[in-house]
Structure 1
Amino acid sequence: MNRTFHQAKGISGEIQPPASVSALLKATLLSLFAKGETTIENTPKCGAAEELFSFVQRSFGAITRQGGSCIVQGSGGFSDPSLPAAIENIPSAETLELIAPLFFRKGVRISGNASSITGRFRNALKKLSASGFSFEFKEQDNAFQLEIIPSSPESLECAIDHPDETMKTICLFAAMAAASGQNRIIETTPLPGETEAIAQKFGAIITVQKQGASYEESEQEHEQDHGNELERRIRRIQKQKAAESDEKSMRIITVREQPVLTAAHFTLTGGAVCAAPFLLAATLCGHSTVTVKGISSGCAPFIHVLRRMGGRLQTEKHKDSDRFDCQVSSAPLAGRRFSGELMAGIGELFPFVCVAAAYATGQTIIRDADFLRQGPMDLFTGTLKNLRTMGVKTGEIEDGIVIEGAREYDGAEFDACGHPAIAMAFSVAAIKNQGESTLVNAEAVDQYWPDFYFQFENLVRNVE
């Protein structure tokens, strides 16, 4: 399906994006191993969610739908005999990556199409094997078979050398399910804490220790009153000293042996990928003001990026909740350098950062982004392809990209490349550029938000 866009003179209004598919996947899979019934409210109505629910019902027979909620009946433990001995036709690479490590205590045979096996998952299996987990993996023609062998390594220590949230989640799930004693996962670049927070709701015994400064600290400062010039100067000196020191920012996640998970209750919040196009469009398109409501903390890194580039975004946290609202107004942007922990938090929001950089004054340098090539889709290459189609001056570097910003571009033909984030990010570029633009394979958004184009165009004011 192709979609045609015309230049907009602005966007305005309020929008509440649907919940995070990533959070839904993690909560649903963990609930299968918990004791009792887990209720998940505000589930997204999209292709990815429907595929997940169908898989759970087919393989576990443990899910009930009630309006916008689902109830999952847990098995009661990672070695419960009611768990399936074999699983077939897993709906996505992401589901395969997260369900497999949860069976290391009981064991399971998983088979399916070899296209579900990503480079990231192969690397994760090697890392788990080196840590003492056992499995047998076979590929023939277009099919694979993965035999998870019951194994329980003691005092696991696993280092995540690259900023990959999915790799961290795979190792964390394996440690929760099967490792004995006290286990550590060391993130050399601190990653978002969504997985840990979800697991802790099920009673998982997880503690997190952070070393070194992080972008989150500067983001908290942004919310404070900066009226005192002396305090601002002191903070700048402190940041400069921290940057010059040898102390490297890192996170250490400690996971204790988990006898059983307990059922939990979740109300999912607005997903970062679905919130990002509205934050970006309101920033780039003149005379815009948009309020995005009920956003999850997963969007905080992107908000931080836009603020560092000069964006005008004000956030307000909901009481007794991790949700927040964000009001954003149009503003000129300036190029910046982004790397490390911040890029680890950006993850699949990478296309939105690149589109913002395309319109910023000066040069934007993005480092530590090579992990985005390793997922089910090459998010890095797809984004770069569309930037060049638009006429953006770009240059690839070893682990990232350099983008030379400009104020105006003509319309172009973009390709969603099968990824919702690319489709949404270049929908924003399409309404910013002069003339007419076309988005090819626009149906990619259906995986996260089938109603996206209707909601997006409802807020757009076209140039007359």
Structure 2
Amino acid sequence: MKLKISPKDKLQGKIKVPGDKSISHRAVMLGSLAEGKTEIEGFLTGEDCLSTVKAFQDLGVKIEGVGTENMLVHGVGLHGLKEADNVLDLGNSGTTTRLMLGILSGQDFYTVVTGDDSLRTRPMDRVTVPLSKMGGSFYGRDGANLLPISVLGGSDLKGITYNSPVASAQVKSSLLLAGLYAEGETEVIEPAKSRDHTERMLEYFGADIEVDGLKVKVEANPKLTAKKIVVPGDISSAAFLMVAAMITENSEIIIENVGVNPTRDGVIEALRKMNGNFELLNKREVNGEPIADIKVKNSQLKGTIIDGDLIPLLIDEIPILAVAASQADGKTIIKDAKELRVKETDRIDAMVKELTRLGIEVQEREDGMEIIGKQEIKGGVVCQSYHDHRIAMSLAVAGLISEDDIEIENSDCINISFPNFKKILDRL
């Protein structure tokens, strides 16, 4: 599908973004492993999260309301999953895959997991190596680094202390979930703080978990009790609309009920550094997650440096921050973001190529990019999405202020995280 975006004079209105992707994944996972019925409100119905739902259905969990924002998960308890009668196809979802490998390593049955063309190129040894140290058994291409991967259950997992070489919520979460099935304590130590939705939700469901700075420790074999989960709006999705309002003249929008978890709000800090004109209103907390409404106005952005410990807190927002940087006065440097090269696509390479196609001066770095602002965005071109939802939406936002229309190839990938993205843009 090709998406056509035309320049706009202003964006105005009050809207909501889809539910948080990370929290939606984890709500289904922990709801399935809990005892009782977990009600989920505001679930993200994007393709990635539906891959998680389908996986747990294949493992014997009854889930009502699939395809809607309100679902009911009939938990089977920590040891109630059943062997699937076919391969688990996890689509494009790296989160589902890496977290599922942790859960599956503790089961007493055999499972094979695979995914689409993109997912089968993404590295899994970042979780299979430490999970193997706990006693997990994995077999697959490139030494169980690439899908398809077989998980041979029945192993007696043992808790370990793992010093993670990367600040990754997926790695941390995979080990913590495996730790629920391991003998003794499982501890993960990170070089920098990554998003902490798993820790918050494990505690909310009744797990014995301890957080001490960069260390997270979980005890084995807890009794997880079903809870109601209200999923806040996804800050990663909100970021596209925040930047859209900041760079489009005469704009003022309010994005309601957005999750502002301090391990996810790096984009807020980065946009503050860039002189973004916005404020957080009506701050509150729901099921352990902080939420706020975000009021955003057209802004006179300034170039800045985005690096270091801030990077893990905004890794998914870097493509849209690159678009913001093109409209900021001065140079913006993004570095320490090599992790972007192993996302759905090589996002550094993809953004450099497409920004260049749009006439923006940008220099590629091994671990990021340098962007000179403020620049005119030329239109009348066809851009590539690389089948990456965040690349596609970033280019769409650029199209709002381009000289002419922009077309984006293979834009249906946006459905992975933001199915109604174009409708919301049109409404604004």
1:165 correspondence with 2:165 = no
Alignment partner of 2:211 out of 188, 208, 212: 208
1:69 correspondence with 2:70 = yes
2:273 match:
308
Cα deviations by residue, 1:325-366 (Å, 9 ceiling, x for unpaired): 010111111111111221101121111111111111211111
Structure with the larger helix share: 1
With over 3 angstroms needed to count, the CA separation of the structure-2 counterparts of 1:340 and 1:121, relative to structure 1, is same
**Number of aligned positions between the proteins:** 414
With over 3 angstroms needed to count, the CA separation of the structure-2 counterparts of 1:305 and 1:414, relative to structure 1, is same
Segments of 5+ residues of structure 1 without an aligned counterpart are: 211-250, 460-464
| Percent identity of equivalent pairs | 23
1:291 correspondence with 2:254 = yes
Q: How does 1:314-333 map to 2 (within 5 A)?
A: 314-321=279-286, 322-333=290-301
Query: Which amino acid in the other structure matches residue 171 of structure 2?
Result: M
Q: Offset of 1:155 from its aligned partner? A: 4.5
2:89 match:
90
Q: Offset of 1:35 from its aligned partner? A: 1.4
Q: Offset of 1:153 from its aligned partner? A: 4.8
Distance 1:294 1:209 in 2: 29
TM-score (norm 1): 0.83
| SS of residue matched to 1:14 | strand
CA contact (8 A) 2:399 2:405 kept: yes
1:348 correspondence with 2:316 = yes
Q: Offset of 1:394 from its aligned partner? A: 2.1
Q: How does 1:56-135 map to 2 (within 5 A)?
A: 56-65=56-65, 68-77=69-78, 79-80=79-80, 82-84=81-83, 88-92=87-91, 93-94=93-94, 95-113=96-114, 115=117, 116-129=119-132, 131-135=133-137
1:430 match:
399
* Deviates further, 417-426 or 111-120: 111-120
Distance 2:86 2:177 in 1: 18
CA contact (8 A) 2:349 2:364 kept: no
2:153 match:
149
Distance 1:272 1:362 in 2: 26
Distance 1:87 1:381 in 2: 36
| SS of residue matched to 2:324 | helix
| SS of residue matched to 2:203 | helix
Distance 1:291 1:403 in 2: 28
Distance 1:439 1:278 in 2: 18
Query: Which amino acid in the other structure matches residue 352 of structure 1?
Result: I
1:268 correspondence with 2:231 = yes
2:369 match:
401
Distance 2:363 2:32 in 1: 45
Cα deviations by residue, 1:344-401 (Å, 9 ceiling, x for unpaired): 0112111111111111121111122111222343333322221221122222323222
TM-score (norm 2): 0.89
CA contact (8 A) 1:100 1:148 kept: no
Q: Greater relative contact order: 1 or 2 (C-alpha under 8 angstroms, separation 6 or more)? A: 1
Segments of 5+ residues of structure 2 without an aligned counterpart are: none
Distance 1:49 1:193 in 2: 18
Q: How does 1:315-394 map to 2 (within 5 A)?
A: 315-321=280-286, 322-394=290-362
Distance 1:108 1:288 in 2: 55
Q: How does 1:34-53 map to 2 (within 5 A)?
A: 34-53=34-53
Q: How does 1:245-284 map to 2 (within 5 A)?
A: 251-284=214-247
CA contact (8 A) 1:409 1:433 kept: yes
Larger radius of gyration: 1
With over 3 angstroms needed to count, the CA separation of the structure-2 counterparts of 1:297 and 1:359, relative to structure 1, is same
| SS of residue matched to 2:397 | helix
Cα deviations by residue, 1:126-155 (Å, 9 ceiling, x for unpaired): 2322x3322130349x97341233344545
Distance 2:211 2:130 in 1: 21
Q: Offset of 1:320 from its aligned partner? A: 4.2
Distance 2:155 2:139 in 1: 15
Distance 2:195 2:246 in 1: 24
